[in-house]
Amino acid sequence: MSIQSSHFSHGDDDDVDPRPIRSRNRLLDAAETLLRNGGIEAVTIDAVTKTSKVARTTLYRHFNNSSDLLAATFERLLPKVTPPPPTKGTLRERLIELLARQAALFAEAPLHATALAWISLGRATSTAGDDSDENSTDVLRVSIIEQYCKPFEAILQSRETRAELDDFDPQLAMCQLIGPLAFARMTGLRAITEHDCVHIVDDFLSAHHRGTQKKDASNDPRRAARNDRTHRTSQPSGRRSALTD
């Protein structure tokens, strides 16, 4: 597996001496194996040093604590998300293609859901009076934002997109587009398909398309039928009888 450059690197010796690189990789390899086989609880200092056959003192040269090690392991497992070429297709087509890629990554990498759950705990997992755990989750959070949001930013912040859509909130836009994928994966509610991605993108575009108005219920047969049923069930029984006579 290729190893990404990590925010959790310590010192500049790795650029000169290959031994720190080897020991760090062995520690991360061991942590990754423990994480895949036993979950977060299995990634302890004792287990990692025993599995990697790296001394505890060496581990602490690379990582401040087990949370720092775990965050670096999660970051290592984050795959690259490649956005579509900027000139390929319409805004709708590019968003659908990118969202489908995101959905495939969520489906193929179950540890992503574990990473999201772990960083969402924040200080709940840290030791009282020690901010190091929170710093680890903050660094991992930044990495996840870079991995998953930057490809969308490249599309949504373009001049063409800004001309086509209204003045939307970029962070809220990320939640509207990526949020359903993360929620579905973390809860196991459903597997997001490409057809689902089309619906998510279309809903986002219809809400933010510049110069368009929301469809009136009278022009939407399905919505009109729903409203009619709601109106009928909300009427007093006597009046409903009079309406149907």
Give the start-to-end residue ranges of the domains of the chain. 13-77, 91-208
What pLDDT, on a 0 to 100 scale, did the predictor assign at position 231?
Answer: 52
| pTM exceeding 0.85 | no
Cβ atoms of 35 and 71 within 8 Å: the answer is: no
What pLDDT, on a 0 to 100 scale, did the predictor assign at position 104?
Answer: 87
What pLDDT, on a 0 to 100 scale, did the predictor assign at position 132?
Answer: 53
What pLDDT, on a 0 to 100 scale, did the predictor assign at position 141?
Answer: 83
Instruction: Please determine, looking at this structure, whether the domain spanning 13-77 carries the CATH number 1.10.10.60.
Output: yes
pLDDT band at 18 (very low <50, low <70, confident <90, very high): low
Helix ranges (H only) for the chain are 18-38, 45-52, 56-62, 66-77, 91-108, 111-121, 132-156, 159-164, 170-187, 194-208, 221-234, 237-244
Higher-confidence residue: 143 or 222? 143
Please check the confidence at residue 20 and state whether its pLDDT lies above 50: yes
Q: How does pLDDT run across 178-236, given as a tens digit for each residue?
A: 999 988 988 888 889 999 999 999 999 999 988 654 444 445 555 555 555 555 555 55
In 3D space, the residue among 35, 48, 6 whose CA is nearest the CA of residue 112 turns out to be 35
Query: Chain-wide mean pLDDT for the chain?
Result: 77
Please check the confidence at residue 16 and state whether its pLDDT lies above 90: no
